[in-house]
Structure 1
Amino acid sequence: MPSPAPAYVERRRGASLRLALRGIDYHLTVWGEPQPDTAPLVLLHGWMDVGASFQFVVDALAEVEPRERWVVAPDWRGYGGSVSPPVDSYWFPDYLGDLDALLDALAPGREVDLVGHSMGGNVVMLYAGVRPQRVRRLVNLEGFGMPATRAAQAPARYAQWLDALKTPAELRSYPDLDAVAARLLHNNPRLAPERAVWLAPHWAERRDDGRWHLRADAAHKRVNPVLYRVDEVLEIWRRIAAPLLWVDGDLTDTTQWWGHRYPRDEFDARLAVVPNVRRHRLSPCGHMLHHDQPLALARCLAEFLT
């Protein structure tokens, strides 16, 4: 068996910070110190990820920006080091509430720059439309939203959720960190091995059984009983005041998630309601933009945020 790759070495080492937000013991990774003349940069991760996952982009930004800014990346409730009370499922209103409380705690009365990936991208789009006065610049990294739903789907969706509650949700565990890193590489073959080795102890933790478990509540796997209402989402998107940067990867295949229920041209039509949009595509790059092309993404962010 080949020896594991050496771990990635950080250019800017993040510090851990804990905050009590809405009854949740929230964990944040923070780089640098608050700066009175520069908007904080808040990075929001996606489903089954953690805030520390942005380390490679933060390091790349240090290469391309003239000065290092204050960067904050929370672990969403039920992920990483953010301890959440037992719940049956998670939903977007709680993420919005957590983000609002986070900004009130860290940057009261100030505008911030928001960057969200995937699920985090969906959250920042909603937040920027609901709280337009709080967002100076907005970046969505492949937060596509969800396929449209119809009211007729509600009975079956609620039944599916009730059925799921009868069986405890579980996530796979791993014998050691090498196996965790191997899983990360399997999930994303474009991830550099040294980055997978670095991410593994941030993505998983060793528990009393001696095995490594993902730092994620298995309840995240359960279907949400509440339908995704596109008409409501678009009304919120129309109220986004900040300039928006949309970034995607040329290798992303959305059919792997939704088949043909939600084609890309439908997403493009939705995005057209946002008043001020700039688009950028990274290549070669898949859905994990911050892992596949951190330097190219950092250059794009630096230009947009300056």
Structure 2
Amino acid sequence: MKASHCEQLDIRGLRYNVRHWGATDAPVVFFLHGWMDSSATFQFVVDALQQEWHVIAPDWRGYGQSEWIHRPYWFPDYYGDLDALLAHYSPDRPARLVGHSMGAAISSPYAGVRPERVQQLVMMDFLGLTATDEADAPGQLSAWLDNLRKEQPTRSYLDHETFARRLMLVNPRLTAEQAAFLARNVTRTLPDGQLTMGGDPWHKVPSPLRYQARDVMAAWRGIKAPVLMLIADKGYVTERFADDPAEIDRRLACFADMRRVTITGSGHNLQHDQPEQVAAAIEGFLGRD
């Protein structure tokens, strides 16, 4: 496996963990992980890259080895964090962004409202959430208020082997080697020595606000950068809009310059399931300095 190293950085008052692969003088590309995940999730894709890149992958606030706040998270903070990360690592030139799932949910609206800061964008198995109903709004707010009064439970695992078996049960496409690597690198050790997934359990508390698909789509229409859309054939995009395939086309139409590639034999975590396909598609799309 290609070696990585991490550095700690202050981002908007929180300690951020940022992982690096590759030579510092190689072309830079930012890899942005998804919900309840962390930067190490991209190891298999990085291993499959054929060209030399400097891959910069943060653990988002409340994930991995970045600081956990142990209270509700406000999603717009991630836009601010991305803006600060790019100001630090790429202050003088637009950036290449590769976002998986929540990473794409953060980077794609950002690319629409700060088009001068993004050179190219790769979205991995994310095309927004399904539309919500206004009748659901009071219940969401009520549930959020109820959760504020609770201690959020942490699911723990006895050791790395137990967690690896759990990962393979959830995703049978994982090899034993992949599961063992993820068990060592996407977990956090608890005070009693057991392990938990590397994400603050407060992330599992639903937002008090409805997801507004039209607002996100309006931001996508502002993207000037070329966009590569990687859609897993058995992933969330395919499942989410299975009853309304025309909605996929409607959302894809928001992007002025878009290329679509289907990743075959893959679930939502295409960076684990088909890293060679993903790496080939990314390198076929990204321009180099």
Tell me which residue corresponds to 2:3: 13
Q: Is 1:160–2:143 an aligned residue pair?
A: yes
TM-score normalised over the length of structure 1 = 0.89
* Cα deviation code 1:127-151 (max 9, x no counterpart): 1101111111100001121121243
Q: Is 1:25–2:6 an aligned residue pair?
A: no
User: CA distance change for structure 1 residues 238 and 54 in 2, over 3 Å: closer, same or farther?
Assistant: same
- Greater shift, 211-220 or 152-161, is seen at 152-161
Q: Is 1:293–2:266 an aligned residue pair?
A: no
Say which of 225, 243, 257 aligns to 2:226: 243
* Cα deviation code 1:64-112 (max 9, x no counterpart): 22xx111101111101000132322x23311111000001011112111
Distance 1:275 1:35 in 2: 31
Please report how far the alpha carbon of residue 152 of structure 1 lies from its aligned counterpart in structure 2 after TM superposition.
3.6
User: CA distance change for structure 1 residues 69 and 255 in 2, over 3 Å: closer, same or farther?
Assistant: closer
Give the SS at the match of 1:52.
Answer: helix
Please report how far the alpha carbon of residue 255 of structure 1 lies from its aligned counterpart in structure 2 after TM superposition.
8.1
% identity of equivalent residues? 43
Tell me which residue corresponds to 2:160: 177
Distance 2:40 2:90 in 1: 20
Please report how far the alpha carbon of residue 34 of structure 1 lies from its aligned counterpart in structure 2 after TM superposition.
3.2
Tell me which residue corresponds to 1:87: 71
User: CA distance change for structure 1 residues 207 and 92 in 2, over 3 Å: closer, same or farther?
Assistant: closer
Please report how far the alpha carbon of residue 264 of structure 1 lies from its aligned counterpart in structure 2 after TM superposition.
4.2
Please report how far the alpha carbon of residue 208 of structure 1 lies from its aligned counterpart in structure 2 after TM superposition.
2.3
Q: CA RMSD, aligned part only?
A: 1.8
1:304 maps to amino acid? F
Distance 1:297 1:173 in 2: 31
User: CA distance change for structure 1 residues 284 and 96 in 2, over 3 Å: closer, same or farther?
Assistant: same
Tell me which residue corresponds to 2:255: 274
Say which of 112, 122, 133 aligns to 1:139: 122
Tell me which residue corresponds to 1:6: none
TM-score normalised over the length of structure 2 = 0.94
Tell me which residue corresponds to 1:197: 180
Structure 2 residue runs of 5 or longer lacking an equivalent are none
1:102 maps to amino acid? L
Give the SS at the match of 1:20.
Answer: strand
2:34 maps to amino acid? G
Distance 1:80 1:243 in 2: 30
Tell me which residue corresponds to 1:76: 60
Q: Is 1:220–2:203 an aligned residue pair?
A: yes
User: CA distance change for structure 1 residues 47 and 264 in 2, over 3 Å: closer, same or farther?
Assistant: farther
Q: Is 1:208–2:196 an aligned residue pair?
A: no
Say which of 26, 38, 45 aligns to 1:57: 45
* Cα deviation code 1:169-226 (max 9, x no counterpart): 1131001100111111112110111011011121213222121122210001101001
